[in-house]
């Protein structure tokens, strides 16, 4: 999209979301890019066909699996939001996790992952990476510089990060992690799904940034999509070649839906962030609550690092209840909620609540809580209605606890 209207770093997110990834004059003045579906791309002659084959790393008309204008518009937009140079769209958020792991790790390598990592990423490391001869060690997400340096080995190729952890919300000291990793010649991969653009990964030393576009960019709980963003030609080539070699592809319809979602993401995020803060404040002052795990809440775990490195927050956080409440009582509370759905994923317009306790796998001794923990996603409903709903559900939880 070389002739897209200007969308520059000096503009705020909302302005960029309105202008990035637009088709310019390609589609006769229509505002949005069309959905370009296709496998075969016809070439006018053999010389052009040969030249196309040499452009595998480019946004070029080669073959369907190399993507087309709908993919490229979205790639440009995500790179813009995350402050990177290039982006590769893949089929799911999970594929955005696994593809760069495949790109950077080989037999005999060592990989470090935070104990708080997204479950399916841990599963990939412990199954497929292990089978291919890669050893993964899980580290305390709040590890300090010396602690991380002590875990580095000559064959450590990758330090993976996810900040905050999407179930227990530990905020990681990414600049320190990046400094240690780079001093040992390792790359830093980060799952930035929670931070979206409020954490600018490349300014903090990340080499490759992962997003589940399924969350706020899609925004309507009806699309699965992932992005991998890089900030150097070298990293781009590795990621792009691996995605192509694995046959990674995303439907142009899903890219189009995500482009459409992104146009309103700025206002959705703003509303959802404010509502989540209101609900989090309210919960923190409830007698049933031990703590609210929301990095943007003053006094919450990780708040100082959040304040240093983030410019905003999304609407996903955790609530730890006092130990006098059982796991069953907290599940009763979730079931008593009328406006919160029980379901995985987040970032849509509807609120969700799911049990965290009982669903965590940890091997580095982190993620321990005295009372039951519930994860909440705040949607676009009126926060006053959500708070009233929580109030009656907490009463049900107290009744359950006798």
Under the rule (CB under 6 A), what is the footprint of ligand PLP? 92-94, 97, 118, 162, 166, 191, 193, 212, 214, 224, 226, 345
Let me know: does 171 contact 116? Beta carbons within 8 Å. Answer: no
| Cβ closest to ligand PLP, residue 162 vs residue 288 | 162
Name residues whose C-beta falls within 8 Å of residue 32's C-beta, 6 or more positions apart in sequence. 22, 23, 259, 260
Q: Give the helix/strand (H/E) hosting 158.
A: strand 156-162
| Cβ closest to ligand PLP, residue 62 vs residue 356 | 356
| Cβ closest to ligand PLP, residue 23 vs residue 230 | 230
Assigned token pair, 35: 């959905």
Burial (CB count <10 Å: 0-12, 13-18, 19+), residue 279:
buried
* Minimal distance, residue 1 CB to ligand PLP, in Å: 24
* Minimal distance, residue 117 CB to ligand PLP, in Å: 8
Query: Residue 323: phi, psi to the nearest 5?
Result: -65, -15
- Other CB atoms within a 10 A radius of the CB of residue 327 amount to 15
| Cβ closest to ligand PLP, residue 258 vs residue 332 | 258
Locus of tokens 């079931």: 335
Let me know: does 314 contact 347? Beta carbons within 8 Å. Answer: yes
168-190 b/e with 16+ CB inside 10 Å = b? bbbbbbbebbbbbbeebebbbbb
- Please give the torsion angle defined by the CA atoms of residues 25, 80, 75 and 166, in that order, rounded to the nearest 10 degrees: -150
| Cβ closest to ligand PLP, residue 93 vs residue 371 | 93
* Minimal distance, residue 215 CB to ligand PLP, in Å: 6
DSSP state of 235: H
Let me know: does 110 contact 255? Beta carbons within 8 Å. Answer: no
- Other CB atoms within a 10 A radius of the CB of residue 368 amount to 8
| Cβ closest to ligand PLP, residue 75 vs residue 162 | 162
* Minimal distance, residue 210 CB to ligand PLP, in Å: 7
Name residues whose C-beta falls within 8 Å of residue 274's C-beta, 6 or more positions apart in sequence. 383
* Minimal distance, residue 93 CB to ligand PLP, in Å: 2
| Cβ closest to ligand PLP, residue 205 vs residue 217 | 217
Locus of tokens 């903090």: 204
* Minimal distance, residue 191 CB to ligand PLP, in Å: 5
* Minimal distance, residue 167 CB to ligand PLP, in Å: 9
| Cβ closest to ligand PLP, residue 166 vs residue 242 | 166
- Sheet with 352-355, edge to edge strand ranges: 289-293, 316-321, 373-377, 352-355
The CB-nearest residue to ligand PLP is 93
Angle at which helix 69-82 crosses helix 252-263, to 10 degrees, equals 40
* Minimal distance, residue 114 CB to ligand PLP, in Å: 11
* Minimal distance, residue 377 CB to ligand PLP, in Å: 10
* Minimal distance, residue 334 CB to ligand PLP, in Å: 19
| Cβ closest to ligand PLP, residue 181 vs residue 225 | 225
Peptide bond into 164 cis (omega under 30): yes
Let me know: does 288 contact 325? Beta carbons within 8 Å. Answer: yes
| Cβ closest to ligand PLP, residue 13 vs residue 224 | 224
């Amino acid at each position: 999209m070389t002739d897209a209207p200007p969308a520059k770093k000096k503009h705020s997110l909302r302005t960029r979301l309105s202008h990035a990834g637009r088709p310019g004059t390609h589609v006769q003045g229509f505002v949005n890019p069309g959905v370009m579906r296709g496998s075969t791309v016809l070439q006018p002659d053999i010389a052009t066909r040969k030249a196309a084959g040499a452009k595998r790393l480019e946004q070029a008309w080669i073959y369907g699996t190399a993507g087309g204008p709908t993919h490229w518009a979205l790639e440009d937009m995500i790179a813009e939001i995350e402050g990177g140079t290039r982006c590769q769209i893949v089929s799911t958020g999970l594929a955005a996790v696994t593809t760069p792991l495949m790109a950077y790790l080989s037999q005999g390598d060592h990989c470090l992952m935070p104990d708080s990592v997204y479950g399916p990423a841990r599963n990939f490391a412990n199954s497929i990476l292990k089978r291919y001869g890669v050893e993964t060690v899980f580290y305390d997400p709040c590890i300090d510089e010396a602690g991380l340096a002590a875990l580095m080995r000559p064959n450590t190729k990758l330090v993976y990060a996810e900040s905050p952890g999407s179930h227990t919300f530990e905020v990681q000291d990414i600049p320190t992690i990046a400094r240690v990793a780079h001093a040992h010649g390792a790359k830093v991969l980060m799952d930035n799904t929670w931070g979206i653009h409020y954490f600018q990964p490349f300014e903090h030393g990340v080499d490759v940034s992962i997003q589940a576009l399924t969350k706020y960019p899609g925004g309507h709980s009806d699309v699965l999509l992932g992005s991998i963003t890089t900030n150097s030609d070298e990293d781009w080539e590795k990621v792009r070649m691996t995605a192509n070699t694995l046959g990674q592809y995303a439907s142009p319809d899903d890219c189009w839906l995500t482009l459409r979602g992104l146009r309103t993401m700025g206002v959705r995020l703003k509303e959802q962030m404010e509502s989540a803060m209101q609900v989090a404040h309210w919960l923190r002052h409830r007698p049933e609550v031990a703590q609210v795990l929301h990095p943007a809440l003053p006094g919450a775990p990780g708040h100082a690092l959040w304040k240093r490195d983030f410019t905003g927050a999304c609407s996903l956080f955790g609530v730890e209840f006092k130990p006098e409440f059982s796991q069953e009582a907290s599940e009763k509370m979730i079931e008593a909620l009328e406006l919160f759905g029980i379901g995985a994923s987040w970032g849509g317009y509807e609120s969700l609540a799911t049990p965290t306790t009982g669903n965590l796998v940890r091997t580095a001794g982190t993620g321990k809580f005295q009372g039951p923990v519930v994860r909440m996603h705040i949607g676009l409903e009126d926060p006053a209605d959500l708070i009233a709903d929580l109030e009656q559900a907490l009463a049900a939880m107290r009744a359950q606890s006798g």
